[in-house]
Amino acid sequence: MVRCSFIFGFTFLLIGFLGSAQDSLKTVVAEKGDGILSLLRKNGVSPYEYYDNFIALNIQNLRDSVHLYEGRSYQIPGVIDSIQKIDSIQIASKIVKEIKSETFDIFGEKHKTVVEKSKRLKDNVYYLVSGHGGPDPGAMAVYANTAIAEDEYAYDITLRLAKELLAHGATVYIIIRDEDDGIRDDRILEIDRDEVAYPDKTIPLNQVARLKQRVDIVNGLYREHKGKYQRLIVTHVDSRSVGQNIDVFFYHHEKSKNGKKLAESIHKTFKAKYKKYQPNRTYSGTFEDRTALYLVKKTHPAMTFIEIGNIKNSKDQRRILDPDNRQALAKWIGEGVLLDFEAK
């Protein structure tokens, strides 16, 4: 469970603009290698709080609605160029509030702080399973003459999703875990074999044994939390022919109304995001029953099984390798989870 290691603390965040001091937003020039997340971090703004605001402010100046152009100017939401005239007491009373945060070492040093956004998922339990891990790297491909593996990218997206759900008050179990990886902002994620299954079980080499281990862990926790709202999200990266570009797909158990609703809610969110941020591109991802999949068939919580893309396809690789894209994927899945819960 991700809550096994945390520290309660408080942090101060800027909220809104500075009233009468709302002269102009800070404008910065994107440098080579900058992404939305890194640009916001460099300017002292929480990338996870202001990601959508940044896109809304700069939508006409983004490639594919999510990528920066080197050398172009961008506005930074929540940061004002001139605040010298505002008295420090006024600042404290008008734009600062104290909010709760917790730290989780599994997210790594740079990402370990989770700032509370709401209590919308309070008392809900979510089990997050990233595909493969341990002795099995999953689908493999080559990028920039370097091997890349499915399990590393599925795990990074899963960690990012865990942060999103925790920020809304959920109880989250990260079933496949690597205590020394954390959330990584690199394009090429180093391949290792030290992942374990919750809480610290060695992952078997045999495929059926690996899947059964995950099923047993999830179903055991499900029994412990009997009576609570519980959902399971499994994340994989597909492997198809090099030329096959695919969208994000969602699967569920054919007889699970709640599983279908969860898959449909996340799918609906993705359709809306594509329409908003990539209006000239048709989203072809679907949600459908795939009961034959072992985890879909055997696990007890209502669940969705997500295929993020084709690791061998160059267009899908951009979706998977770009850390900004991985963050966007996690955020959109999280919004779909909120939609699923609140549309009861």
Q: How far apart, in whole angstroms, are the C-alpha atoms of residue 216 and residue 99?
A: 37
Start-to-end CA span in the chain (Å): 26
pLDDT digits (tens, 9 = 90+) for 216-250: 999 999 999 999 999 999 999 998 878 788 899 99
Long-range contacts of the stretch 272-281 (C-beta < 8 A, 24+): 273/328, 273/332, 276/65, 277/55, 277/59, 277/64, 277/65, 277/66, 278/64, 278/65
7: confidence class by pLDDT, cuts 50, 70, 90: very low
Pick from 15-29, 50-64, 74-88, 265-279 the range whose average pLDDT is largest.
265-279
* Separation CA 188–CA 64 (nearest Å): 21
Residue 155, SS3 per DSSP = helix
pLDDT class for 111, splitting at 50, 70, 90? very high
Q: What is the mean pLDDT of residues 110-125?
A: 93
Rounded-to-integer distance, Cα 26 and Cα 75, Å: 6
Q: Is residue 1 pLDDT above 90, yes or no?
A: no
Residue range(s) of every CATH 3.10.350 domain in the chain: 24-80
Domain with CATH 3.40.630.40 in the chain: 105-342
73, 16 Cβ separation under 8 angstroms:
no
pLDDT surpassing 90 at residue 10: no
Please give the CATH superfamily to which domain 105-342 belongs.
Answer: Zn-dependent exopeptidases (3.40.630.40)
**Each residue's pLDDT tens digit, 309-320:** 999 999 899 889
Pick the CATH number of 24-80 from 1.10.10, 3.10.350, 2.60.120, 1.20.1420: 3.10.350
- Whether 203 and 283 have beta carbons less than 8 Å apart is answered as no
Which of 22-26, 171-175, 274-278 is the most confident on average?
A: 171-175
